[in-house]
Amino acid sequence: MDCRGLRTSLTDKPVKISLDLPGALHRELSAYAEALGRETGQPVIDPKKLIVPMLERFMATDRGFAKARRNRG
């Protein structure tokens, strides 16, 4: 499991959103948080706190999205 890219950015003011996760996805997110805690030797993090860094990492590594952003300007 590669957690090096999972970090939060505190430079912008947060925007609160609400979403419903399918039960299976929530269970997987919880299992991921537990595995991350075991791997790092840290306490298990609240799975909700993983969503932002995971989305940031996903968007940062999506080549199609990066290309679209370059072509937009």
- Chain-wide mean pLDDT for the chain? 87
Nearest to 29 by CA among 15, 14, 50: 50
The answer to whether residues 1 and 35 touch, using CB atoms and an 8 Å cutoff, is yes
Eight-class DSSP state of 46:
P
Which sequence spans correspond to the domains of the chain?
A: 45-73
Kindly report, residue by residue over 19-45, the tens digit of the pLDDT: 999 999 999 999 999 999 999 999 999
pTM above 0.85, yes or no: no
Tell me the CA distances in angstroms from 52 to 17, 47, 56, 71, 72, one per residue in order: 11, 10, 6, 25, 24
Q: Report, as an integer, the average pLDDT of 44-55.
A: 93
CB-based contacts of 21: which residues, under 8 Å, 6+ apart?
29
Provide, rounded to the nearest whole percent, the portion of the chain with pLDDT above 90. Answer: 71
